[in-house]
Structure 1
Amino acid sequence: MTLPALEMAGITKTFPGVLALDEVDFDCRPGEVHAICGENGAGKSTLMKILGGSYRPDGGEIRIRGQSADFAHPQQAKAAGISIVHQELSLLPYRSVAENIFVGREPSRRGVLDRREMRRRSMELLQRLGAGIDPDRQVSTLSIAGQQLVEIAKALLLDAQILVMDEPTAALDERDAQALLQLVRGLRSEGVSIIYISHRMPEIMALADRITVLKDGRRIWTKSREDADIGAIIRAMVGRDLKDFYPSPPAGKPGHSLLSVEQGGNTYLRGIDLDLRAGEIIGVAGLEDSGKASLAQAIIGDEPLTAGTIRLGGGPQAITSPRRATSRGIGYLPGDRKREGLLLRQSVRDNALLTLRSMSNFFTRPESGAFSRDRIDEVLRVTDVRAADFGQAVDSLSGGNQQKVIIARWLARQSNILVFVEPTRGIDIAAKAAIYEAMRSFANTGRGIIVVSSDMPELIGISDRILVMHQGRIAGELPRGASEEAVMALSLGIDIRQKQEALT
């Protein structure tokens, strides 16, 4: 039998008052994709931080190719051939793509930084990922998906023999995700051991050779892909069946128009026509460069429309800034919640209050009305934000609970329209179900939601209608329950009706 590339035996880790890992066993063989599944808080990240040298275990042993290893620093793990692509990006925003890929490993020539070599190697790595990103481009100008690809390129530069990928496709559209999955298959064929962490079940079933499920810091089981199915994985993760993962469709027809755009356009958009009605959830699909993110930015006033008309409740409105959008009843959940949506060191309660106060009185104590502590706490409870105390820092919560804090913020403000961008990025399957239910409940009160997502099953499962973007335009509209093939065809600019007519 081939010696495992990695063995972790009896790994235990305790934080104050919390047993994060309880004698967890895990191994990965050369040329294998071993998936790890589990809810947020199951212990996945802690186990990988121990492997990567960020944490020291309280008990257990790590063996690399049969030799005992003890990593006191991430550099020691890298030197042993371990590379980790973290879900939380760690890029330098005001440096170039090439500088980020080579940070800490800059090549030199005769004692001088060799920028030409950095650019050449960066181009090779990005092309290997199928990404047409300019190595000289400043990272801060990239989308979250682009930044994710740069993070992956950093890991590939190490030429590691053990590669950990934590939610690598969470921010990627279908095209980029498929390119990445093909890369993973290629690395596996080269003998690289890949530990793949994802909440996207179809990816797990398409890639994994074996699957391990963690729950509450314990290993529930490890099975070959052939011996596991999605239902069994979900039951092991959450301890129950998720028969109704997506909420039921609305009982009645949509009501009056809440938001309409007529021939809207700006630098990134052209000829946009859409109508969001009371009680609706409209999904927006498309490839990364399709204009779907720009559509969200236009509606919230961050990239205002310079042509066409926006109407709210029938009356024309000039949405020229996010502040104006907020005052007109439009709320926004950004794709990068930590950078754009939360004050991480402030409390859960203060984050929920963020749009109810101006910054000038943000630190005053809430006393009454919309500012009442009791009222805000009740909204947080209704939204099922799970925290020991709403006075604790929001960065101590799981990703799913952080998302729910942002939803609670807009519920407290009584917004009529919510614009969600990647609402469940990096969130476990149980938290996803809770957020979907909260979204449907919001719409059922006569309000409306526009959801921009690169997760196609998500869009199909929660949307009453799906708008598909292509080259800055709405390429077409699909009904609830449309097929992934139909969505992808429109994303690529293929007219479904013409295709069907040609076949007949």
Structure 2
Amino acid sequence: MTVIPALDMRAISKSFPGVRALDGVDFDCHAGEVHALCGENGAGKSTLMKILGAVYRPDSGQLRIGGEIADFKHPREARAAGISIVHQELSLMPFRTVAENVFAGQEPTRHGILDRKRMEQRTEELLRRLGSTISSSTQVSTLSIAEQQLVEIAKALLLDATVLVMDEPTAALDDCDARVLLRLVEKLRAEGVAIVYISHRMPEVMAIADRVTVLKDGRKIWTKARREVEVDAIVTAMVGRDITEFFPAAGHSGPGDVLLEILRGSNAMLRDIDLRMRAGEIVGVAGLEDSGKAALAQAIFGDDPLTEGSISVEGRVVSVKSPRQAIAAGIGYLPGDRKREGLVLRQSVRDNALLTLQGMAHVFSRPHRRGLTQAETDLALKTMDVRAGDYGQEIGTLSGGNQQKTIISRWLAQAPKVLIFTEPTRGIDVAAKASIYETMRRLADSGRAIVMISSDLPEVVGVSDRIVVMHQGRISGELDRGASEEAVMALALGITEPNWREETIA
């Protein structure tokens, strides 16, 4: 007996000016299945899901939902048919309540008046179904990223979704919160929801997927049962080649002079931070979601400055009360949320590469005051292997990896001594990750100090020369290169005794 898929996309093709985004792609997903969709940025994953959600219409091909042909002309028609998409970039209204966000655009009324009680009751039901204790009346801005992700999923379930698309759902989560979300995915699968799971985190794919489909350059490479493939095979299919050295080797020479020093640094989120960064080293900073690792990056860059203690750059105490002062002192910053904090999406790739240089021209030396010529800017972008049809095109049209590399090229024009990389590979594909790791290694080898704040434990362990672990606003310990993920997690949980047991983590 043939089982009808909950979702069935056949021979889907889509072109944009000069680009064949999808070329005859087949994809399906059954009720009670997690089907992982993998591929580099630009492989066609987002285009395929936007066709499913009726953001785009295909040039050719056929879509069936529950065996019935669907020809959606508007996203609301897709939602009405049971299609819900949880996007990587959260779309919540921060100063509204959880209930108001869940019901946004579909608020119930009673006698012509907003039925707030019904909204809150239904929201509570959805949140309990997800195993959450969040109150429906809580303002979203007070929630952690992990809790906001649950609110997004509750929004999707409000429509009784039969097909749920999750696009990089753990990209902004630490390891513990990611495990909680994966257990939720298993729960929804057991309830019969068809789940399309898009992720660049291979351990998650191997842990949660029933089947895996790989796209490359708009074409489907293969679909296989997850138990029949290994991570190496998935990565090779995605990038078209073996990545034998995913993480770069250690630096060519040992650490040099101290470039950044924090002594007794404190603010509302941090306590008694003592940290030294030396030329030539990459220091990874790990910790749980509210451990203080993000606050440390913001303090060093002056976005949420220290209220006690001191910061020195190259042996000189500097005042870092704002990002401008940090930049002037020789500190560069790659933000964790590139689209909201690092880019002007409607401006060109070239303009984004020049943003900081133009904004700080009065601070830099005379050669920089004139700015860079178009040729010099384009050379910096090419050096970073930023791939675009034209550097004059809007940066919002580029893949996440190319956007990230554009921000890095912005800092290369200024040669800061200290660079802070916050979640440097969040939401980008494995090939772009390897490229950014090599860039970080090259920058460190050139005599810079790199601070890498990351929620990705394999990344922290694989890239860092030294690992600093945060817990409750303090540095709970330091580990050498090559430390185990278990050792990092122990310190992240506040277990500092040398004879900690691995069972404590589980």
Q: Equivalents in 2 of 1:498, 1:484: separation in Å?
A: 16
* Aligned twin of 2:268: 267
Q: Higher mean Cα deviation, 344-353 or 160-169? A: 344-353
Report percent identity of matched pairs. 65
3-state SS of paired residue (1:100) = helix
Q: Equivalents in 2 of 1:415, 1:187: separation in Å?
A: 47
Q: Equivalents in 2 of 1:227, 1:141: separation in Å?
A: 43
Describe the shift of the 1:129–1:272 C-alpha distance in structure 2 as closer, same or farther (beyond 3 A).
Answer: farther
* Aligned twin of 1:206: 207
1:408 is aligned with what amino acid?
S
* Aligned twin of 1:161: 162
* Aligned twin of 2:290: 289
After the TM superposition, which segments of 4 or more aligned residues of structure 1 sit over 6 Å from their partners? none
State the Cα distance separating 1:45 from its structure 2 match: 0.7
3-state SS of paired residue (1:413) = coil
* Aligned twin of 2:11: 10
Describe the shift of the 1:127–1:55 C-alpha distance in structure 2 as closer, same or farther (beyond 3 A).
Answer: same
Q: Equivalents in 2 of 1:390, 1:276: separation in Å?
A: 35
The answer to whether the aligner puts 1:395 opposite 2:415 as a matched pair is no
1:264 is aligned with what amino acid?
G
* Aligned twin of 1:276: 277
* Aligned twin of 2:355: 354
Q: Equivalents in 1 of 2:137, 2:268: separation in Å?
A: 23
Unaligned runs of 5+ in 2: none
Describe the shift of the 1:298–1:135 C-alpha distance in structure 2 as closer, same or farther (beyond 3 A).
Answer: farther
Unaligned runs of 5+ in 1: none
Describe the shift of the 1:307–1:130 C-alpha distance in structure 2 as closer, same or farther (beyond 3 A).
Answer: farther
CA distances 1:295-346 after superposition (whole Å, capped 9, x unpaired): 1110100111011121111222221101100101111111111111011122
1:14-413 pair list within 5 angstroms: 14-126=15-127, 129=130, 135-140=136-141, 144-358=145-359, 370-413=371-414
Describe the shift of the 1:497–1:125 C-alpha distance in structure 2 as closer, same or farther (beyond 3 A).
Answer: farther
Q: Equivalents in 2 of 1:109, 1:133: separation in Å?
A: 25
State the Cα distance separating 1:134 from its structure 2 match: 5.3
Q: Equivalents in 2 of 1:298, 1:46: separation in Å?
A: 38
The total of aligned residue pairs comes to: 499
Q: Equivalents in 2 of 1:459, 1:501: separation in Å?
A: 19
8 Å Cα contact 1:208-1:225 kept in structure 2: yes
2:42 is aligned with what amino acid?
G
State the Cα distance separating 1:50 from its structure 2 match: 0.8
8 Å Cα contact 1:128-1:183 kept in structure 2: no
Q: TM-score, length-normalised on structure 2?
A: 0.94
* Aligned twin of 1:432: 433
Q: TM-score, length-normalised on structure 1?
A: 0.94
3-state SS of paired residue (1:371) = coil
State the Cα distance separating 1:30 from its structure 2 match: 1.2
3-state SS of paired residue (1:404) = helix
8 Å Cα contact 2:29-2:35 kept in structure 1: yes
Q: Equivalents in 2 of 1:201, 1:358: separation in Å?
A: 39
* Aligned twin of 1:456: 457
* Aligned twin of 2:469: 468
Q: Equivalents in 2 of 1:400, 1:502: separation in Å?
A: 37
Q: Equivalents in 2 of 1:501, 1:154: separation in Å?
A: 37
8 Å Cα contact 2:80-2:159 kept in structure 1: no
Describe the shift of the 1:47–1:490 C-alpha distance in structure 2 as closer, same or farther (beyond 3 A).
Answer: same
Q: Equivalents in 2 of 1:97, 1:147: separation in Å?
A: 9
State the Cα distance separating 1:179 from its structure 2 match: 0.7
CA distances 1:5-36 after superposition (whole Å, capped 9, x unpaired): 11111111111222111111111111110111
CA distances 1:39-69 after superposition (whole Å, capped 9, x unpaired): 1111111111111111111111111111111
State the Cα distance separating 1:157 from its structure 2 match: 2.3
State the Cα distance separating 1:159 from its structure 2 match: 2.5
3-state SS of paired residue (1:14) = strand
What is the Cα-based RMSD across aligned positions, in Å?
Answer: 2.2
